[in-house]
Structures are given as structure tokens and as C-alpha cells.
Amino acid sequence: MTAVRPAQPIKLYGSPISGHVHRVRLFLTMLGLPFESIELDMRKRENRTPEFLARNPFGQVPVIEDGDLTLADSNAILVYLNERYSADPSRWMPRDAIGAARVQRWFSVAAGPLAYGPAAARVMVLFGHATDPTETVKRSHALLSVMETHLQQQPFLAGPEATLADIANYAYVAHAPEGSVSLDGYPSVREWLARVEALPGFVPMVRTAVGLAAEASS
């Protein structure tokens, strides 16, 4: 099957430090698709302007514009890009019922335990929230413990090969230390991160000052 190419570069609206945005950027790069990054300053609430809210009334990033199509939600965008532009859509989203369900399960993890665990802990640190992080860090380690046990049995989240499940969950796990959530006790998780990073076309998410400081002190 020959891959379809967009008529013009896909516009990607977001912030370079957002793991949700990185999911999309990573998959666009892996598929070799042309795209234009349009960065929004979240501190200045550029995601709450009338212009942006017309693209996504929830005011969340990422959003893509592909020709006449405007689409929000990182996991929905991953599915769209795969179905529209991948030369082999089944490579990233299995066509059998069990395989597809396994990917969907990890989409739910990305939107639930990951978002309210490592991602939330990272936001607290990056933006200096005064909220007590204890429960959020505890939730993060509960998730990582489940992932550790799961990844002791197989190399990728949904099976023996990388899928959209791995793309959706990678960034916030890799950057969990930026939220004071250590990965030291999770060797299988760290090995999984390395396998994702070894995939063709992989691009990392930018390291924040907090992340760089954590690396320097480790």
C-alpha cells in the first residue's frame, strides 16, 4: 500500500514542553509527514484566545489543521494520522479485535492514570503550583508499578511490536523525573523507553530546565 501524502504541511498547534503535543510530533516524524509547528505560550493563555477556541473549544493542545480538517485531542489525532497517512495502518493499530482493544486500553491509561499521575506531577513542578504533590506522586508510582510488571512480560505496551499505545504513553513516563517521580526502581520501564527511543524517526521531547537540573544531579 502506498502512503498518501498531505497536499500541504500539516499545522500542529501546541507547546514544545507538552507531552500531548509530543505524541503527535513524534508520530508525524515517524510517518515522515511534512508539518509546521505553531507554538502557543500557555503562560500567556494563548490557548484561550477566541481564535484558538474556535479550533478547540476546550482550549487544549494539540490541535492539527490538515487542509480543511481541524482536529483536537492527541489520541484522536494519532488514530487519524495512522488511518489517513500510514502505508500500513495495521502496523500501529492492530486490525484484530484483541490487538485493537489492547491499544485502546493504553489510550485510556494515557488519558487517565498517566494524565493524573506523572503528567500532573510534572505540571506542578514546571509551573510552581502550591498544591501538595504527595498524592499525585503516589498515583504516579502506582502506575509505574503496574507498567513495570506488565513490561516484564512483553517488550511493548500492547504486544511484541510498538503501536500507538507506546506513542501515546512515552513522553510523560520518560519525563516523569521532571515531576519528582524517579524511574530508578523500574528497570523494565526504562528498557521500554529505550526501545521506543530506538524506533526509526524517533525525536525526543525538549528537556526543561527542571529536567536538566535533575539529570545533572543524578
Tell me the pLDDT of the chain averaged across its residues: 92
Q: What is the CATH number of the domain that holds 80?
A: 3.40.30.10
pLDDT tens digits for 12-45?
999 999 999 999 999 999 999 999 999 998 889 9
Query: Any idea what the Cα angle at residue 82 is, between residues 79 and 85, rounded to 5°?
Result: 135
Same domain, 209 and 103: yes
Is residue 113 reached through a cis peptide bond, with omega within 30 degrees of 0 on the bond before it?
A: no
Residue 200 domain-assigned? yes
Residues of the chain above pLDDT 90, percent = 86
pLDDT tens digits for 183-208?
999 999 999 999 999 999 999 998 76
pTM of the model: 0.91
Residue 1 domain-assigned? no
pLDDT at 67 over 90: yes
Overall domain count for the chain: 2
Q: Which residue, of 43, 67, 90, is where some domain finishes?
A: 90
pLDDT at 101 over 50: yes
175-212 residues labelled b (16+ CB within 10 A) or e (exposed): bbbbbbbebeebebbbebbeebeeeeeeeebeebebbe
